[in-house]
Structure formats: structure tokens, C-alpha cells
């Protein structure tokens, strides 16, 4: 029971980190970046290559993976989304799906469809309390995500750039009138989201160590679900949604059915959206005129 | 000396020719108002000057520098602040955070001093500095929008319909503030539908009609101009 809960929180933390990327990008660019899941996969491959082929130690290879994904996120934004800033949201959505397929197929060309065994990145003994055994990967995942959440909350609430990001996500025109460079802010948001995706990729592959070009797709969709579940655009919502989703998934697998667990996860989403269409923490402030 | 000089400006929305070659200027220390009916092109003019809209033909010269093609966020650094129509404060940020955004281009060294100046002008904002801006009343939101625009130490403050949707007593208050700013030497370009109030505080005014300037004069002259009285001052 306790170990299920820990595993659920651990999986949920990974969803939360991915969901943060979705929700931040949605908040600022008002678009669903469906290529986000595939950035996770690229992050996984980067860490895999630098450790397995180049023999780098863990920390540098994680940093390398974060670096590559950050740049990748900015390039994707610049080449694929920025030209569509004024286009209809449907065009942007289709483009995002296109980018997603592009990344998957590029990965297929480079690394082939054979699954790669992801190296063990967390070389720590498992924690044993009484008769409960908790994997070290789960602990590292949970701690990492707590650090990320605190750092991100501080960033958006305390720093000038973070506040500017919130200002841009609310009103781009007014933000420009403050002297905020809107394009640079959007680019920075993609950079942060993609950097987080790389970390999520490493954590995810550490827990489920097979790496394929489609590795990012399902977690991407689930994290998107988590972001909507928590209230898309809301950073605390993404955290809460991610963790709840992870717990529900693990408990559904443990007590109900492994095959049906995904169906149960999505059913919960549907129910939440029927009851509270803006998600758990999503809110709409009435406009005063 | 003229701080802002607009020459033969044309602005298009797609195929719609919204501004049809207007020219006007604002001198240092003046309050100048653009008045006109809905759709005359007043807000379009301000938004074009601020760089939010693409200029068709003509040019905008500020402080001796041509602003054509410079993006809005860089124009702010030249010393121009626009307090936009509908206030457009950041509803989900606190009052203080909104003001901090107003000082975004600054290096933060005068932030406390600037905040105090704004709080002095609008004591209500000081009482509510921690409050989420979206929960303020309409009048308070207008004060916040003006305070936010002042935070960047603009050489030219542009106000777009500051009295819109406010109760008469609040309109009085807003115009009192405009007079105060004027007496301190702030240069102001004011767009208003409330022509009566606007012409009373303004040194000079321009009357816009469907994208053209039809007449100009001092505030007093326009207040007594027959055409203006008939069209905008209710006889």
C-alpha cells in the first residue's frame, strides 16, 4: 500500500514535470505543444548516448541532455511556431503534431526502432523501511521534482523575468507597452519547458529503462491530461494534476486492472472536466469593464 | 520644441484605410487631446505611435528620432508610455507587481522611490498593493493603469480613454490627476470621448473624423467652436 503510494507519487512527479512544460507554453503562447512528449524522448536518447557511447558520468550527461533539449525547444519554437503567431490555433496545433512526427521519425532514422536499454543512472541502494522497499529511482524522482517545483514557483513569483512571463501570458500587447520583449519571453518559456522535459526523460527512462522513438508519446499525452486535469495554464495545477494522475494510475494498476489502467486515468479526466470544466485549479477571473 | 511629431500618417487594417494622412505634434510640457466619435481613429493613432500597429505611410518622430519600424517594447525605452484603452492591467498579478512591470525597463535602482511617487498620487493603490489587480474596482484599475504607465518615467504619457466607464466622481478624480501631472511638467497626449472634460484640461486639441483631422486649436477655442459644440459637446 505504502509502496504503491510512493510509486504513484514518483510516476506522478514525472508527469508533473512534463505537465509544467505543457502548461507554461500553453499559458504564454496559447498553444498545445504536442511535440513536447517527443522532446522527452530526445532527452532520454541524449542521456543514453552520452553515458553509453561516450562514457560520461551521470551529472554531465544529464546536463548535456538538458542543454540539447533547451536548444531544441527554442529552435522548434523559432522555426515551427513563431511564423504562425498570428495564424489560427488549428494551424498551430497541426504544426505541433507535425513536429512531433518529425522528431519521432528523426529518432527512428538515427537510433532505429530497436529498444535501447537505458543505463542505470541512479546507482543508490533501495530504501528499506520495515518490510516496505522503496526504489532509489522513486526517491530521486520525487526529490528532483520537489526542487523543480520550488525553483519554478520562486522564479515566476519573485524574479523580474518570471513576473514578465506571467504578464506576457495574460496580455501580450500590454506587456509590450511595458517594454517586455514578448518574442524573447516566449522563446525563454519554450527553453525552460524543454529543459524540464529532458530531466523528465532521464527520470522516466530510469524508472522504465527501455528507450524507443515512441517512448515520449504516451507520457506526453498523460502529462497533457494532467495539465488539463489540474487546470491548463496553472503551474500549481500542473503539479497537482500530475501527481494525482500518477497515483490514480498506479492504484488502478495494482487494484483494478493493468490493462484498464490507462482507460481509468482518462475516465477520471472526463469526469473532472464534466464537473469542473476549467480543471481542478483553473480559474477564470471575471473581467471588469 | 516638439517632442512628438506625426507626419502624414496612414494606417491600414487589412484593406480598411483607418487613418488617412494625419499630422499633429505635441510640444514638451503640453497636454494635447485628440477628440472624436467612435471609430474616428483616435485609439488607432495612439497604438500606431506606440508601435503596436504597423504604420502604412508617413512617419512618427519622437524626440528627434524616427520611430517607424521600431517594435513597441523598444519604443518604451525612448521614453514613451501608453496607458491603453480598457486599462489592460495584468488582472492576475498583484497591484505592486503591476507597478513593477511598469518599471520593467528600469534597472530597479529607483523602484522604491517610484512606487512611493505613484502611491502618493493614488493613495488607494498603496492600501491595496498586495491585492490581485483583477479584484479592484473599475476606477482603481484605471488608477493602476495610469500609475503603471508613470513607473517608466515617460517623457510622453499617452492616455487612451482614461474616463471610459467610470462614475462621474471618478472621472473628476482622473482629470484632477491629469491636471496635477500637467502642473509637474509631464507631457501628455490624451484621447477622450468626453470632449468637454478633455478640452478643459488640454492646451491644444485636434478633432478627428473618420481618419482625418478636421480642425485644431487651443482647448478654449475648440470648446467654443460651433462645429465642435454641435458634434461633441451636445449643442
Residue A20: give its domain's CATH number.
1.10.3470
* Tens digit of each residue's pLDDT (9 = 90 or more) over A216-271: 999 999 999 999 989 888 888 999 999 999 999 999 999 988 888 889 888 988 89
Answer yes or no: is pLDDT of A29 > 90.
no
Cα(A93)–Cα(B227) distance, integer angstroms: 53
B57-62 and B65-66 as β-strands: parallel, antiparallel, unpaired?
A: antiparallel
Cα(A226)–Cα(A37) distance, integer angstroms: 13
> If you write DSSP's letter for every residue of B93-141 in order, what string do you get?
SBHHHHHHHHTTTS-STTHHHHHHHHHHH-HHHHHTTTSBGGGS-HHHH
How does residue A120 score in pLDDT terms, banded at 50, 70 and 90? confident
| CB proximity A178 to B under 8 Å | yes
Instruction: Assess contact for A37 and A101: CB atoms under 8 A.
Output: no
* Tens digit of each residue's pLDDT (9 = 90 or more) over A152-180: 999 999 999 999 999 999 999 999 999 99
Does residue A34 lie within any of the structural domains?
yes
Structure ipTM: 0.91
Among the listed residues A115, A29, A107, the one whose alpha carbon sits nearest the alpha carbon of residue A72: A107
User: What total of structural domains would you count in chain A?
Assistant: 1
Q: How close A185 gets to chain B, by Cα (Å)?
A: 12
Does residue A282 lie within any of the structural domains?
no
Q: How close A158 gets to chain B, by Cα (Å)?
A: 10
| CB proximity B154 to A under 8 Å | no
B192: its cell numbers: 477622450
Cα(A252)–Cα(A240) distance, integer angstroms: 18
B212-218 and B204-209 as β-strands: parallel, antiparallel, unpaired?
A: antiparallel
CB pairs below 8 Å between A and B: how many? 83
Q: Which domain holds residue A188?
A: 2-275
Res B235: pLDDT: 61
Does residue A233 lie within any of the structural domains?
yes
Does residue A123 lie within any of the structural domains?
yes
Q: Which residue among B84, B97, B135 sits closest to A177, beta carbon to beta carbon?
A: B84
Instruction: Assess contact for B81 and B149: CB atoms under 8 A.
Output: yes
Cα(A190)–Cα(A49) distance, integer angstroms: 24
- Name the residue of chain A whose CA is nearest to B107's CA: A160
Mutate which: B44, B46, B52, B72, vs A, most A CBs within 10 A = B72
A33: its cell numbers: 505543444
All residues of chain A having their beta carbon less than 8 Å from the beta carbon of residue B148 are: 178
Answer yes or no: is pLDDT of A287 > 60.
no
Q: How close A276 gets to chain B, by Cα (Å)?
A: 20
What's the 3-state SS for A3-54? HHHHHHHHHHHHHHHHHHHHHHHHHHHCCCCCCHHHHHHHHHHHHHHHHHCC
How does residue A24 score in pLDDT terms, banded at 50, 70 and 90? very high
* Tens digit of each residue's pLDDT (9 = 90 or more) over B137-170: 999 999 999 999 999 999 999 999 999 989 999 9
- Name the residue of chain A whose CA is nearest to B49's CA: A177
Q: Which residue has the cell 507626419?
A: B7
Beta carbons of B105 and A164 less than 8 Å apart: no
* Tens digit of each residue's pLDDT (9 = 90 or more) over A194-216: 999 999 999 999 998 889 999 99
Q: Which residue has the cell 523528465?
A: A200
Mutate which: A85, A166, A178, vs B, most B CBs within 10 A = A178
Beta carbons of A178 and B104 less than 8 Å apart: yes
DSSP SS3 for A60: helix
Res A288: pLDDT: 43
Does residue A116 lie within any of the structural domains?
yes
Helices (H) and strands (E) in chain B, counts: 10, 10
Q: Which residue has the cell 470621448?
A: B193
Res B33: pLDDT: 96
| CB proximity B192 to A under 8 Å | no
Give the mean pLDDT of chain A.
Answer: 91
Does residue A288 lie within any of the structural domains?
no
How does residue A289 score in pLDDT terms, banded at 50, 70 and 90? very low
Cα(A146)–Cα(A167) distance, integer angstroms: 25
Res A283: pLDDT: 67
For B196, residues 6+ apart whose C-beta sits below 8 A from its C-beta are B223, B232, B233
Q: How far is CA B2 from CA A4, B7, B133, in A?
A: 73, 12, 36
Q: Which residue among A179, A181, A285 sits closest to B91, beta carbon to beta carbon?
A: A285
Does residue A289 lie within any of the structural domains?
no
A132: its cell numbers: 516496505
| A33-37, A105-109, B105-109, B185-189: least confidently modelled range | B105-109
Q: Which residue among B102, B108, B165 sits closest to A178, beta carbon to beta carbon?
A: B102
What backbone torsions phi and psi does residue B86 show, to the nearest 5 degrees?
75, 15
Does residue A113 lie within any of the structural domains?
yes
Helices (H) and strands (E) in chain A, counts: 11, 4
All residues of chain B having their beta carbon less than 8 Å from the beta carbon of residue A174 are: 84, 88-90
* Tens digit of each residue's pLDDT (9 = 90 or more) over B173-195: 999 999 999 999 999 999 998 89
- Name the residue of chain A whose CA is nearest to B86's CA: A289
Res B186: pLDDT: 93
Cα(A220)–Cα(A81) distance, integer angstroms: 19
Instruction: Assess contact for B56 and B90: CB atoms under 8 A.
Output: no
CB atoms under 10 Å from CB of B107, counted, come to 7
CA angle A43, A155, A61 (to 5 degrees): 25
What backbone torsions phi and psi does residue B200 show, to the nearest 5 degrees?
-70, -35
Q: How close A10 gets to chain B, by Cα (Å)?
A: 31
Would you say the C-alpha torsion A19, A24, A28, A33 has a positive or negative sign?
negative
| CB proximity A181 to B under 8 Å | yes
Beta carbons of B100 and A160 less than 8 Å apart: yes
Task: Per-residue pLDDT tens, chain B, 235 aa: give them.
Answer: 789 999 999 999 988 999 999 999 999 999 999 998 888 999 999 999 999 999 989 999 999 999 999 999 999 999 999 999 999 999 999 999 999 999 999 988 999 999 999 999 999 999 999 999 999 999 999 999 999 999 999 999 999 999 998 999 999 999 999 999 999 999 999 999 889 999 999 999 999 999 999 999 999 999 999 888 888 777 6
Cα(A263)–Cα(A265) distance, integer angstroms: 5
DSSP SS3 for B17: strand
Long-range contacts of B136-142 (CB under 8 A, 24+ apart): B136/A288, B136/B89, B136/B95, B137/A288, B138/A288, B138/A289, B138/B165, B138/B166, B138/B170, B139/B166, B139/B167, B139/B170, B139/B173, B139/B174, B141/A288, B141/B87, B141/B89, B142/B87, B142/B166, B142/B170, B142/B174
Burial class (CB in 10 A: 0-12, 13-18, 19+), B69: exposed
Res A134: pLDDT: 85
Beta carbons of B101 and A178 less than 8 Å apart: yes
Would you say the C-alpha torsion A32, A35, A39, A40 has a positive or negative sign?
positive
DSSP SS3 for B82: strand
Res B126: pLDDT: 95
Q: How close A170 gets to chain B, by Cα (Å)?
A: 6
For A252, residues 6+ apart whose C-beta sits below 8 A from its C-beta are A260, A261, A264, A265
Amino acid at each position: 500500500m505504502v509502496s504503491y503510494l510512493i510509486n504513484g507519487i514518483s510516476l506522478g512527479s514525472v508527469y508533473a514535470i512534463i505537465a509544467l512544460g505543457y502548461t507554461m507554453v500553453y499559458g504564454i503562447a496559447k498553444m498545445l505543444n504536442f511535440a513536447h512528449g517527443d522532446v522527452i524522448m530526445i532527452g532520454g536518447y541524449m542521456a543514453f548516448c552520452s553515458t553509453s557511447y561516450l562514457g560520461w558520468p551521470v551529472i554531465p550527461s544529464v546536463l548535456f541532455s538538458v542543454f540539447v533539449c533547451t536548444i531544441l525547444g527554442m529552435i522548434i519554437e523559432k522555426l515551427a511556431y513563431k511564423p504562425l503567431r498570428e495564424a489560427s490555433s488549428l494551424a498551430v496545433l497541426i504544426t505541433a503534431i507535425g513536429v512531433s512526427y518529425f522528431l519521432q521519425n528523426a529518432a527512428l532514422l538515427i537510433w532505429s526502432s530497436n529498444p535501447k536499454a537505458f543505463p542505470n543512472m541512479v546507482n543508490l541502494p533501495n530504501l528499506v523501511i520495515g518490510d516496505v522497499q522503496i526504489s532509489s529511482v522513486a526517491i530521486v524522482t520525487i526529490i528532483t521534482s520537489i526542487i523543480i517545483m520550488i525553483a519554478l514557483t520562486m522564479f515566476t513569483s519573485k524574479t523580474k523575468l518570471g513576473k514578465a512571463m506571467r504578464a506576457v501570458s495574460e496580455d501580450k500587447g500590454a506587456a509590450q507597452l511595458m517594454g517586455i520583449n514578448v518574442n524573447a519571453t516566449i522563446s525563454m518559456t519554450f527553453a525552460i519547458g524543454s529543459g524540464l522535459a529532458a530531466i523528465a526523460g532521464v527520470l522516466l527512462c530510469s524508472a522504465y529503462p527501455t528507450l524507443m522513438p515512441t517512448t515520449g508519446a504516451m507520457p506526453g499525452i498523460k502529462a497533457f491530461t494532467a495539465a488539463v486535469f489540474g487546470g491548463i495554464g496553472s503551474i500549481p495545477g500542473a503539479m497537482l494534476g500530475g501527481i494525482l494522475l500518477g497515483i490514480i494510475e498506479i492504484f488502478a494498476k495494482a487494484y483494478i486492472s493493468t490493462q484498464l489502467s490507462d482507460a481509468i486515468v482518462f475516465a477520471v479526466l472526463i469526469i473532472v472536466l464534466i464537473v469542473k470544466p476549467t480543471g481542478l485549479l483553473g480559474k477564470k477571473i471575471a473581467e471588469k469593464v | 520644441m516638439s517632442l512628438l511629431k506625426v507626419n502624414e500618417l496612414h494606417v491600414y487594417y487589412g484593406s480598411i484605410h483607418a487613418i488617412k494622412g494625419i499630422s499633429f505634434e505635441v510640444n514638451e510640457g503640453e497636454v494635447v487631446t485628440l477628440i472624436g466619435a467612435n471609430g474616428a481613429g483616435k485609439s488607432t493613432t495612439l497604438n500606431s505611435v506606440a508601435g503596436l500597429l504597423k504604420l502604412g505611410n508617413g512617419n512618427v518622430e519622437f524626440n528627434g528620432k524616427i520611430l517607424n519600424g521600431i517594435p513597441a517594447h523598444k519604443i518604451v525605452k525612448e521614453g514613451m508610455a501608453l496607458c491603453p484603452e480598457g486599462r489592460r492591467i495584468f488582472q492576475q498579478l498583484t497591484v505592486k507587481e503591476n507597478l513593477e512591470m511598469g518599471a520593467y525597463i528600469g534597472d530597479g535602482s529607483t523602484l522604491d522611490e517610484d512606487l512611493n511617487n505613484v502611491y502618493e498620487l493614488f493613495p488607494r493603490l498603496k492600501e491595496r498593493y498586495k491585492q490581485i489587480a483583477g479584484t479592484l474596482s473599475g476606477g482603481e484599475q484605471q488608477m493602476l493603469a495610469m500609475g503603471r504607465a508613470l513607473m517608466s518615467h515617460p517623457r510622453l504619457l499617452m492616455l487612451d480613454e482614461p474616463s471610459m466607464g467610470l462614475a462621474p466622481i471618478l472621472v473628476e478624480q482622473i482629470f484632477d490627476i491629469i491636471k496635477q501631472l500637467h502642473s509637474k511638467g509631464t507631457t501628455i497626449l490624451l484621447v477622450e470621448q468626453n470632449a468637454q472634460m478633455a478640452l478643459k484640461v488640454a492646451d491644444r486639441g485636434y478633432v478627428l473624423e473618420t481618419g482625418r483631422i478636421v480642425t485644431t486649436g487651443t482647448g478654449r477655442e475648440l470648446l467654443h467652436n460651433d462645429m465642435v459644440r454641435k458634434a461633441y459637446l451636445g449643442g
